[in-house]
Structure 1
Amino acid sequence: MSNKSDIYDVIVIGAGIEGSSTAYQLAKSGKNTLLLEQFPLPHSRGSSHGQSRITRKAYGPQEFYTNMMEESYRIQDELQAECGEQLFVNCGCLVFGPKGHPFVADTEKCLKRHGAPHEKFGVDEQRKRYPKLSLPSDYELVLDKTGGMLRADKMLQAFQRQFQRYGGTLRDGEPMLDLYPGDIVSIKTTKGVHRAKSVVLALGAWAAKFLPRIGVNVPLEPLKITVCYWEEKNGNHYSIENFPVFMSESGEGNNTIYGLPSEEYPGLVKICLHHGPKIDPDNRDAVDNEWVLDTIKMIIRTHFPTLEKEPSVVETCIYTNTPDTDFVLDVHPSWKNVVIAAGFSGHGFKLAPVVGKVLAQLATGQRPSYDMSHFKIDRFFKNKL
């Protein structure tokens, strides 16, 4: 028989970046918290592994994210101070595309409105600064000087370590089998039953499989993202000392690319397509992603002619997209002590520090610090009877 002392304040399911950040915030505020992870840690089967992610302030029309990024940077700095490790490299974030393209124009407008240091320039200036990048003469570029690279795996481990230092309990290699709602929520795993006053479900791509079982049919689409590293033919022009992180929308189909200068593999630049085939997260290798590689190779030949034509290293990651690419951060429609975090759509990592704070507020019955209307579950069903 379990007694009252066996009841946690909060159980967080999923020790990816969003779940780990949430657990950290809860333990730091004195809550008795259990963080459960289905796989042995560290693992590379979800969305939070790998050594690097882009971070930036500008968010075009979705300015509510820019507002949240202010605090995300602050919490990230606090975590950096607590763990004594560099988690952020401020090398800048370069956005480029055809003149008048909304992605570039909206980035510039957003940076202006928020007073963030930035520069806008044309291809003549680009050729002086970044001579190995080959862009058409009608392209324009905006450099967000607040942007840069997050050391992703270090940040994930820092959240988990600090969570435990604040008294939290982390159990990995323990998949959830079922959830039983009530004033006290019970979580059945492969190793037993855990109970808590509230639960946060940060399930990553597995949310698409589990949430329908508890009556939440959010339209989630897991995608396999092909992460490619390309070798420079000569020189060190794309090193983190010489080149910023970057993003570009060419306007042709789903050809949004993102890239990070060479650091995690010396001499290899990370350049990826921001899109991929739909998958089942438990069977990700069953899909054909040759078209992704063909598309990205064409972009490398066109815009990065001093990189080798074939990638040296190819890894995979999972995005879980919502139809509007905004997150789901909400409580269950019937059980207010079951909090749902899902659909981070390939841009959640940089916001994880502040997302963790908001989810911790939802899990403890506090009013969230931000307008949550963009993140509600019911936004997908408003037009239905």
Structure 2
Amino acid sequence: MTATRRTILGAAAALPLAACTRQRAIVVGAGVFGAWTAEHLQRAGWDVLLVDQMGPANARASSGGESRMTRGTYGRDEIYTRMALDSLEEWKRLSERSALPLFHNAGVLFCFQEMIDYARQSIEVHTRLGLPLEQIDNAALQARWPQMNFDGIAFGLFEAEFGALMARRAVEETVARFVARGGQFTLAHAKAGTQGASVLLDEQRHDASAVVWACGPWLPKVFPDVLGQRVFVTRQEVAFIAPPDGDDSFEASHLPGWADFNGGDLYYGFPNLEGRGFKIARDTHGVDFDPDTGDRRITEEGAALLRTFAERRFPALAGRPFTEFRVCQYENSSNGDFLIDRHPTFDGVYLLGGGSGHGFKHGPEVGRMMAELVVNGTAPDQRFSLATKATAHNRTVL
């Protein structure tokens, strides 16, 4: 089944918005967190209405765009390694049923200038979980991936089981299958109700047993008094570069996804996926950004920074043209941990967000955790609670 906005909306149009006799949930936000929350609530037997103001994984959403990395390398944060593994199984199953691939098993390579705690702890976690993680020295890196210049790199950690998720397509496919099984989806502008589990959709009130707000960078705008600076939105710049003509060494069959700990900066990217071009980005908290009014054109300084790094690490890309730019946003929690919790004062209202730039891969598990909180009252790990989100920005999750 190929997901398109036309098929999603067409299927949803035949479904009424009237309340049902079964437990009913409204999920606001059809990004990866909201889509998988709706999916898991549906699996639990609930009637679910999924709402978005522009459509699943739209151009302004944090889940929009072409590709996202899935990886198990998380330093000491074993909880995220386990979540990534469990989520990967869901992504693989969804990809196998999709007309076009949602997961490219290209592998992921992390490059390090020296042995740091993050690398050492990643090795320990993978060993403890029995998850393959190959440590490769500089000479072997050069021989295996001659497209890359490994000057200054002491070693790499390679995860063969992971790779790239096709972001927008994967979310649309998730929503399309949810709708095909009887879930409801509608386009509407949502506002928080003034009491309990209610929401205003295009100014009309809708009540439910539970309302889950999973609206990404809009979450702190909906609940400014509760979240304040506990979830803050920043601007990130991404570029795509045309690989050399006729050179297949930049295809996913020859080059993995990669991340480079570059003296305090972290650059990452993908090979040429489905002819879109070589992707490069810098993983850092950019300037504050408003998802409604922010300028999504890349700056000259940002483009120059990405080009300089790409040409240093991938010499064959020198002088190659940019094919595309994208400005997206991170909705960061204060420490990089997700927010999966109840609203502190409104019964039946739940807050889901804080993807912090690394959340996409975890969508299936995050959705499962939120659904369990809604259905059974089973709270996830304490680190995902609102109480752990401070106003001081000190990201510890990479």
The answer to whether the superposition gives a TM-score over 0.5 is yes
Aligned to 2:146, which of 131, 134, 142?
131
Residues of 2 paired with 1:76 and 1:286: CA distance? 29
Q: Is the 8 A contact 1:7 1:197 kept in 2?
A: no
- Does residue 176 in structure 1 map to residue 185 in structure 2? no
2:99 and 2:376 map into 1 onto residues whose CA distance is: 32
Which residue does the alignment assign to 2:279? 270
1:239 corresponds to:
251
Matched, 1:372 2:381: yes
Distance apart, 1:290 and its partner CA: 3.7
Segments of structure 2 that go 5 or more residues without pairing to the other structure are 1-16, 393-398
**Mapping of residues 114-263 of structure 1, within 5 Å:** 114-172=129-187, 174-182=188-196, 185-190=197-202, 192-213=204-225, 215-217=226-228, 219-234=230-245, 235-252=247-264, 255-263=265-273
Partner deviation per Cα, 1:255-290 (whole Å, 9 max, x = no partner) = 211111101335x21111112322111121089844
Q: Deviations over 1:136-189 (max 9, x none)?
A: 2542111011111112222101210111122111001x111332322xx22112
Q: TM-score, normalised by structure 1?
A: 0.89
The answer to whether the Cα contact below 8 Å between 1:338 and 1:363 also exists between their aligned partners in 2 is: no
Contact 1:51 1:152 in 2 (8 A): yes
Report the Cα distance in structure 2 between the residues aligned to 1:348 and 1:176, rounded to whole angstroms. 23
2:110 match:
95
Q: 1:50 matched to which residue of 2? A: 65
Would you say 1:352 and 2:367 are equivalent positions? Answer: no
Contact 2:255 2:271 in 1 (8 A): yes
Native 8 Å contact 1:59 1:107 kept in 2:
yes
Moved more, 56-65 or 71-80: 71-80
1:21 counterpart (36, 47, 52) = 36
Partner of 1:335: 346
Structure 1 residues without counterparts, runs of 5 or longer:
none
Q: 1:203-258: per-residue Cα shift (whole Å, max 9, x none)?
A: 11011211125x34352221122121112235221100101111111123xx2111
SS in 2 for 1:317: strand
Q: Deviation of residue 348 (structure 1)?
A: 0.6
Give deviations 1:16-44, integer Å, cap 9, x for gaps.
Answer: 11101111111122211100101145620
Verify the 8 A CA contact 1:103 1:249 in the aligned structure 2. Answer: no
* 1:291 aligned residue: 301
SS of alignment partner, residue 240 of structure 1: coil
Give the distance between the partners of 2:308 and 2:112, measured in 1 at CA: 16
* Pairwise CA RMSD: 2.4
| Residue of structure 2 in register with 1:314 after alignment | 325
Residues 258 and 281 of structure 1, relative CA distance in 2, 3 Å threshold? same
